[in-house]
Amino acid sequence: MKFLSPRLTATTALGCALACAAALAQTATVPSPSDNSGATKAAALGKLLFFDPRLSGDNKMSCATCHEPEKAFTDGLKTAKGAAGKSLKRNTQSLFNLGLYSAYFWDGRANTLEEQAWAPIRAADEMNQDPDELVRELSAVPGYVQQFQSAFGTGVTKEGIASALAAFEGTLITRNSPFDRFLAGDKSALSEEAREGWHLFQDAGCIRCHSGPALTDNKFYRLGVDYRDPGRGAITGNKRDMHAFRTPSLRDVARTGPYMHDGSFDTLEQVVQFYFRSTPSASADGLTIDFEPLMGRSFSEIAPIVMFLDSLTGEAPEISPPRLP
């Protein structure tokens, strides 16, 4: 996919805006389970597991080690740190609004929230935990045995662990951002500069990939940011997918820096500038890049676009560490 003509016509831009508004409206009505439902019990169990260092092989790391609630469920680092403090090669993505995705991780190696939950637990470089050993550890904790029985009617199982973590992560929804309110009809929700940024965001073609309820198309692109990481290509074995990464969500993006899969940009201003001028025409392996720099755009447009991106910050659920069994 080569973006040779980034400018949208007025008709196309209006269509994108209306489609985006309709999709974002869906997010405001994401159902929440009732207080007495099995889903609520599973989410409560998932929260315990999320904060429990027993999920790591050395009992020192929890999911919350890299996904800190006060940092929009990221870690604020350029790239994550794994087992024994080892620096990993990719930036930690936020867990907000995961239920709106169709693929998970930068390379899309997981297709469900349950698969996503297990991947870092089992990974040797990350939490380095053996799933069978984890089941044995948790089964020795009476509080967990009771929680699993209440939520699933079973003892501790690998399936239950994944389902509980997925249920908790599915509750991490942000709502009612200034942009949401603007699309709902409150024209005062955005400043004049942010409204200009929304216009420029459409006019520059950003909305082609950043659309829908999570402002991502869930597809994979080669941007030429880094040629060391094979990205999607390592999953599919397809040469065309080498160095391609999933379009990140822009919801709450002002909270989730550093940016790109390798954390190479500290600020949103740097990200927009990259798209304006710095995307290369070909990668080190000679394959084409999926995006050409927007040479016709003025740097004066960067500030309003960033103001628009700031307006995508929603109201986040308040999550505090629980008392573990």
Q: Could you report the per-residue pLDDT of 14-55, keeping only the tens digit for each?
A: 444 444 544 444 444 444 444 446 789 999 999 999 999 999
pLDDT(324) > 80: yes
Residue 18 and residue 289: Cα distance in Å, rounded? 29
Q: Is 265 strand, coil or helix?
A: strand
Query: Quick one: pLDDT at residue 7?
Result: 33
C-alpha closest to that of 94 among 216, 189, 200: 216
Lookup: tokens for 117: 């939950």
Q: Output the CA torsion sign for 272, 277, 279, 284.
A: negative
- Per the CB < 8 A criterion, the answer to whether 293 and 299 are in contact is no
Rounded alpha-carbon distances, angstroms, from residue 37 to 40, 99, 151, 177, 258: 5, 19, 9, 28, 38
Judge whether 312 and 253 are in contact, CB under 8 Å.
Answer: yes
Cα Rg of the chain (Å, integer): 21
Q: Which residues are catalytic?
A: 126
Q: Nearest Cα to 130, choosing from 173, 104, 161?
A: 161
Q: CB 39: neighbour CB atoms within 10 A?
A: 16
User: Which residues are bridge partners to 288 per DSSP?
Assistant: 282
Count, residues in the chain: 325
Percent of the chain with pLDDT over 90: 79
Phi, psi (rounded to 5 degrees) for 245: -135, 155
For the chain, what are the domain ranges? 10-29+175-310, 38-169
Region 300-323: what's the mean pLDDT?
97
Query: What are the DSSP calls for 109-135, one per residue?
Result: -BSSHHHHHHHHHH-TTTT---HHHHH
Regarding predicted confidence, which is higher, 227 or 279?
A: 227
pLDDT tens for each residue of 91-102? 999 999 999 999
Residue 44: the pLDDT is: 97
- Could you give the residue ranges of the DSSP H alpha helices within 153-285? 158-169, 178-183, 192-203, 233-236, 268-273
Q: 38-169: which CATH number, 3.90.79.10, 1.10.760.10, 2.60.40.1180, 3.40.718.10? A: 1.10.760.10
Would you say 301 and 29 are in contact if contact means Cβ atoms under 8 Å apart?
Answer: no
pLDDT at 198 (0 to 100): 98
- 8 A C-beta contact, residue 281 and residue 288: yes
Helix (H) or strand (E) holding 47: helix 38-50
* Cis bond upstream, residue 258 (ω within 30): yes
Distance CA 112, CA 19 (A): 25
What pTM value is reported for the model? 0.89
Question: Which of the two residues, 6 and 79, has the higher pLDDT score?
Answer: 79
The pLDDT, as a whole number, for residue 283 is 58
What are the two backbone dihedrals, phi and then psi, of residue 207, each rounded to the nearest 5 degrees?
-70, -15
10-29+175-310 has which CATH code?
A: 1.10.760.10
Helix H or strand E encompassing 246: strand 244-246
Residue with tokens 């019990």: 41
> What's the whole-number average pLDDT of the chain?
89
Tokens 């709106």 found at: 100
Equal fold, 10-29+175-310 vs 38-169: yes
Residue 277 — very low, low, confident or very high, per pLDDT cuts 50/70/90?
A: confident
Q: Which helix (H) or strand (E) holds 147?
A: helix 142-152
167-224 per-position pLDDT tens digit: 999 999 999 999 999 999 999 999 999 999 999 999 999 999 999 999 999 999 999 8
